[in-house]
Amino acid sequence: MRHFTAIAAGPLLAVAIAAAVITAAAPGASASSLPHLRGGSESSSVRPSYFNPIVNDGAATVVGLRWSRWSGTARGAGGFYTHNCVPNCAQGKTRDFPVKVTAWRVRHGDYTRFQYHFTHSIPGGQWWNGPRLPRTWTIQYSNGTWHGKHVV
């Protein structure tokens, strides 16, 4: 009886090892198939904890991002980091404004639309050439660069 148990355990052990190898490979394979959010500064291109579409002094970075969804459409929330540029941008005070973000329209594995929506107050300042940002605005990604009214 003992001999039968050892023989039966051999194929079961082989199946368990094969399943473990397949399971270990699956996250890497699925992660590479997830859409990417490209930018000038991000912690990762998949579910980044912070994101800035341009390279600058850090203003307009969405920080503390928490994603509730990441697939054809990504949805998240965080803080829109900015400074008031008074008396100038280097010496001005910084602040995070609560913001919801959405990324969609995947092309060639990358999100090509990104929308900001301020849930409470809206930042004011000098760096975007206007007195206040709109409550909601969308930028577009093409040819490796984000484009839009508020991407300077």
Residues 41-99: tens digit of each pLDDT: 788 899 999 999 877 777 788 999 999 999 999 999 999 988 777 788 788 888 899 99
- Position 114 confidence tier, pLDDT thresholds 50, 70, 90: very high
Would you report the helix, strand and coil content of the chain in percent, each value rounded to 5?
20, 40, 40
Residues 57 and 9 in one domain: no
Given the DSSP bridges, would you call strands 110-118 and 94-107 parallel, antiparallel or unpaired?
antiparallel
| Terminal C-alpha separation, the chain | 77
Tokens of 104: 């969609």
Higher pLDDT, 17 or 3: 3
Whether the per-residue pLDDT at 143 is higher than 70: the answer is yes
Residues 82 and 48 in one domain: yes
So what's the pLDDT on residue 137? 85
Q: What is the pLDDT of residues 20-57, one digit of tens each?
A: 333 333 344 355 689 999 988 788 899 999 999 877 77
Say which residues have a Cβ less than 8 Å from residue 36's Cβ, sequence separation at least 6. 45, 46, 109, 110, 111
In whole angstroms, what is the distance from residue 116 CA to residue 5 CA?
62
User: Global pTM?
Assistant: 0.72
Residues 19 and 76 in one domain: no
So what's the pLDDT on residue 54? 79
Whether the per-residue pLDDT at 135 is higher than 90: the answer is no
Q: In the chain, how many domains are there?
A: 2
In a domain, 152, yes or no: no
In a domain, 20, yes or no: yes
In a domain, 3, yes or no: yes
Residues 70 and 114 in one domain: yes
In whole angstroms, what is the distance from residue 21 CA to residue 19 CA?
5
Range of the domain at 122: 41-147
In whole angstroms, what is the distance from residue 131 CA to residue 125 CA?
6
